[in-house]
Structure 1
């Protein structure tokens, strides 16, 4: 089964080798027929500390790296 790849914005780079990525998804409300925006934050592994706050990045699922990290940064 292929690993999921998501695109989002780095919202925090305060921790060593970890970035927090906010991923937004858009969908149409089934009753109101209005476009809804929802976002979710993921903690991702960043080996070289290369990404800073505000960067657009792609993240991919991986084996657990720590208690909260289940994703790793692919590229900008």
Structure 2
């Protein structure tokens, strides 16, 4: 059976070698037909700690590494707009005030 691959957004990078990734999807309501946003939260193993909060990452299913961790990081697809842990917009505002 092939391993599942998914793309999601890193929502937390506070744990050592572990990231929390949210995979968003839209499902159609069976009765009303309206599209509803749903999400899946995955705990992902990041050995080199290369991803940061806000990054779009590609993950692959792996063997269970802990009670909750069953995914591994493949690559960072897109970096977030953050610079060194601070918000880019806040950095611009501080620079213009000086």
Fold-level similarity (TM above 0.5) = yes
Return the alpha-carbon distance in structure 1 between the equivalents of residues 10 and 27 of structure 2. Answer: 22
Match of 2:57 in 1: 57
Q: Which ranges of 4 or more aligned residues in structure 1 deviate by more than 6 Å?
A: none
Say yes or no: does 1:33 pair with 2:33.
Answer: yes
TM-score where L is the length of structure 2? 0.75
CA RMSD of aligned residues (A): 0.7
Give the Cα separation in 1 of the matches to 2:8 and 2:72: 12
Q: For 1:67 and 1:30, how far apart are their aligned partners in 2?
A: 33
Measure how far apart 1:58 and its partner are.
Answer: 1.0
Distance 2:67 2:31 in 1: 38
**What's the counterpart of residue 15 of structure 1?**
15
What is the aligned partner in structure 1 of residue 46 from structure 2? 46
State how many pairs are aligned. Answer: 76
Larger Rg belongs to = 2
TM-score of the superposed pair, with normalisation by structure 1: 0.95
For structure 2, list consecutive stretches of 5 or more residues without a partner in the other structure: 77-98
Q: Which structure exhibits the higher relative contact order, with contacts defined as CA atoms closer than 8 Å and separated by 6 or more residues? A: 1
Instruction: Tell me by how many angstroms 1:66 deviates.
Output: 1.3
